[in-house]
Amino acid sequence: MVQTAIPSTTSGAATPGWPHRHLLDVDVLTVDEVVRCLDLAAEMRALRAAGERPDWLAGEVVGLAFAEPSTRTRVSFEIAAAALGAQVVELPIEASSVTKGESLADTLRTMELTGVGTIVLRHASSGAPYLATRSCGSRIMNAGDGTHAHPTQALLDALTLRDALGELSGRTVAIVGDIGHSRVARSNLHLLTALGASVRLCGPPDWTGGFRTWRGVSVHHRLEDALDGVDAVMALRVQLERRAGGGVPSLREYGRRWGLTEDRMALARPGAPLLHPGPTNEGVELTASLAASSRSLIGSQVENGVAVRMAVLSLLAA
């Protein structure tokens, strides 16, 4: 795997030669670009730990446009942009002119005209960030669109897994839960398989349809089959806001059959880490004691989220 040189942190410049103006999903990134992004994120993490502040985005304005609730993603983008010296402005889309009839495109164009160079967009509609790239000249960073993609989540998950397991090539990762409605699962499928990992998807039949033809992916309905000997497990939240009921009789029934517990995790490779993008529904997709156990990397995922977002903001602005 050829790695592109990472810029000197003392050069005062952002990273030259990044070919993508936007980050809409990870499927357009080459393996080298993914590795470059993860390496830069690790470098950002070390700089932050050392108390250094690379001012690579000084003079830049980053706009946060979150039209869906978010805690981790919004806050970590804000911290990441500020840590790079950018000015951060927040566009409360629900409260903005969109509710007065202005289209999303008009609102984003207005942001561009006021000098926002990068717009971090979260939207309930799959594809909204793609529309945004055609509506305004700002760089667009997809912070989660509907059920489609969540590229920075997949990148921070890959960094967390790489820290725990080393190279991901040849590893097997189980993703358990509401796969069909999960933008996290979809971006992770692209990224993990591109990096050479195999993925076992697991959940109720109605929640796992349509994935059997993906290369490197197998679909399971029994948790025991999915967890057997895997190197890592990722639990997903049941996307209640995106499903009109159906798939399982109740959340209680889901938890009984597919909920992760410390006992069930014992089926995985000894010490196999557990990930979850958050927010967690303890007692449904996993137990509180598993979330708090030594297997859980949920806290590391949140910490890595800042570093990954610093990396991608720098790369896009290069």
Contact 9, 55 (CB under 8 A): no
Considering the complex, state which of residue 61 and residue 121 has its C-beta at the smaller distance from ligand ASP: 121
**Closest to ligand ASP by CB, 185 or 317:** 185
Nearest 5 degrees, angle CA 102-CA 103-CA 108? Answer: 100
Which residue, 34 or 156, has its beta carbon nearer to ligand ASP? 156
Report DSSP letters for 17-54, one per residue: T---S-BS-GGG--HHHHHHHHHHHHHHHHHHHTT---
Smallest separation, CB 70 to ligand ASP (Å): 6
Q: Which residues pair with 89 in a beta bridge?
A: 63
Minimum distance between the CB of residue 258 and ligand ASP, rounded to whole angstroms?
Answer: 15
**36 vs 186 by CB, closer to ligand ASP:** 186
Question: Quick one: tokens of 79?
Answer: 């911290």
Binding site for ligand ASP (CB under 6 A): 144, 150, 183-184, 237, 277-278
Please report how close the Cβ of residue 138 comes to ligand ASP at its closest, in angstroms. 22
Closer CB to ligand ASP, 183 or 190, in the complex: 183
Q: How distant, in Å, are the alpha carbons of 60, 161, 184 from that of 177? A: 39, 19, 11
Q: Who's near 226: CB < 8 A, 6+ residues apart? A: 174, 176, 200, 201, 202, 220
Enumerate the H helices of 101-245 as residue ranges: 104-113, 128-135, 151-165, 183-194, 223-227
Q: At its nearest, how many Å lie between ligand ASP and the CB of residue 150?
A: 5
Complex with ligand ASP: residue 123 or 183, whichever CB lies closer: 183
Nearest approach in angstroms of CB 243 to ligand ASP is 12
Q: Toward ligand ASP, which CB reaches closer, 143 or 223?
A: 143
The distance of closest approach from Cβ of residue 286 to ligand ASP in the complex, given in angstroms and rounded to an integer, is: 13
Spatial CA neighbour of 10 closest among 38, 37, 47, 51:
47
* Shortest distance, position 126 Cβ to ligand ASP, whole Å: 12
Strand residue runs (E) in the chain: 61-66, 87-91, 118-123, 139-145, 172-176, 198-202, 217-220, 232-235, 274-275
Q: Is 274 exposed, middle or buried (0-12, 13-18, 19+ CB in 10 A)?
A: buried
